[in-house]
Amino acid sequence: MSTLYLEDLAPGQKYQSGKLTVDTDQIKTFAGQYDPQPFHLDEAAAQETIFRGLAASGWHTAALTMRLMVQGEFRLAGGIVGAGFEEMRWPQPVRPGDELRVENEVLEVRASKSRPEQGVIKVRCTTFNQRNEPVQVFVGNLIVQRRQ
Amino acid sequence: MSTLYLEDLAPGQKYQSGKLTVDTDQIKTFAGQYDPQPFHLDEAAAQETIFRGLAASGWHTAALTMRLMVQGEFRLAGGIVGAGFEEMRWPQPVRPGDELRVENEVLEVRASKSRPEQGVIKVRCTTFNQRNEPVQVFVGNLIVQRRQ
């Protein structure tokens, strides 16, 4: 897999990741450290909540999405550096045993006027479960290096 | 600290968190698991990147922000459940030794027409470092229970 510079990127391109499976222990460990709420920590307590069962923290899904992006085919020059997001949502909960994969679609490519060595791309990053249901969607702006 | 129901919330209210300090080991451990890129893993390599030194993953900052929110005074009925974000950005990197705190400001409060037991609030969540510089800002929509 080659490194992608700003000049290599164009709207409509799609880049895939590998897959990973989330298990109960991982969900509870992440939640214990970063999002200690009943629906992420305890199966029985989670039944009584809006999630109706144990669900991964949305930030856990975001973190796993990042790992899949970094290790996938979307190898941006200078790394994956987010300037910010315009939209982010979690349409479905992530459950124990779910298998996740990520697809990045390039929406826009812009050279920087003030910094000729780089540009910004707008990307839609969708995380799917094993039923191809989106569990996370964000539209973000990433900084990408130009070829020198 | 009492639980906050939809009826307790109004635009302009601000809720504070406690504080926590991020150290080098935590930054590298999180990055190793979720965002394995040189600027989050290795001081020397990070010097050569856009960050000019070791910086926490933005998703690490987001996860720590969630912990501060859950453990702070913004105790929402039904828990802190994000429906999605409209905007998220990281204006400054988080560096080893930074002390973080979170302020939540209520921007809008809306009852749900289809689900009378709940509503949605729009919140601006700002994470500050020890110099009161914002390191993360997001505007999100959270689901909140009404009093029965």
User: How far from A25 is each of A33, A54, B31, B85, B132, CA to CA, in Å?
Assistant: 12, 11, 19, 27, 36
Instruction: Please state, in angstroms and rounded to a whole number, the distance separating the CA atoms of residues B118 and B137.
Output: 25
Contact across the interface for A49 and B79, Cβ inside 8 Å: yes
Name beta bridge partners: A110. A120
Residue A130 CA to its chain's centroid (Å): 15
A114: CB partners within 8 A, 6+ apart: none
Amino acid residing at A129 = N
Name the residue with tokens 């996860």: B63
Instruction: Please state, in angstroms and rounded to a whole number, the distance separating the CA atoms of residues B101 and A121.
Output: 31
pLDDT at B105: 98
Q: What angle do CA A55, B65, B60 make, to 5 degrees?
A: 80
Give me the interface pTM, i.e. the ipTM: 0.94
pLDDT digits (tens, 9 = 90+) for A1-47: 689 999 999 999 999 999 999 999 999 999 999 999 999 999 999 99
pTM of the model: 0.95
Amino acid residing at B82 = G
Instruction: Please state, in angstroms and rounded to a whole number, the distance separating the CA atoms of residues A26 and A13.
Output: 32
Q: How many C-beta atoms lie closer than 10 Å to residue A23's C-beta?
A: 11
DSSP helix/strand/coil, B113 = coil
Of B70, B84, B85, the CB nearest to A37: B70
Of A59, A78, A86, the CB nearest to B59: A59
Name the residue with tokens 């479905």: A92
Q: How many C-beta atoms lie closer than 10 Å to residue A87's C-beta?
A: 14
pLDDT at A22: 98
Looking at per-residue confidence, does B50 or B129 come out higher? B129
For chain A, what percent of residues have pLDDT higher than 70? Answer: 99
Cβ pair A57, B70 in contact under 8 A = no
Residue B142 CA to its chain's centroid (Å): 13
Q: Which residues of chain A have a CB within 8 Å of the CB of B82?
A: 58, 90
Choosing among B66, B90, B112, which should be mutated to test the A contact, i.e. which has the most A CBs within 10 A? B66
Residue A115 has pLDDT above 80, yes or no: yes
Q: What is the mean pLDDT of residues A107-120?
A: 92
Chain A residues within 8 Å of chain B (Cβ atoms): 30, 33-39, 49-50, 57-60, 62-64, 66-67, 70-71, 78-90, 143
Choosing among A40, A65, A70, which should be mutated to test the B contact, i.e. which has the most B CBs within 10 A? A70
Angle formed by the axes of helices B58-71 and A24-34, nearest 10°: 70
pLDDT digits (tens, 9 = 90+) for B81-133: 988 889 999 999 999 999 999 999 999 999 988 888 999 999 999 999 999 99
Looking at chain B, how many residues does it have?
148
Average pLDDT, chain A: 95
Of A49, A79, A86, the CB nearest to B49: A79
pLDDT at B1: 65
Choosing among B27, B40, B48, B81, which should be mutated to test the A contact, i.e. which has the most A CBs within 10 A? B81
Q: Which chain A residue has its CA at the smallest distance from B75's CA? A: A37
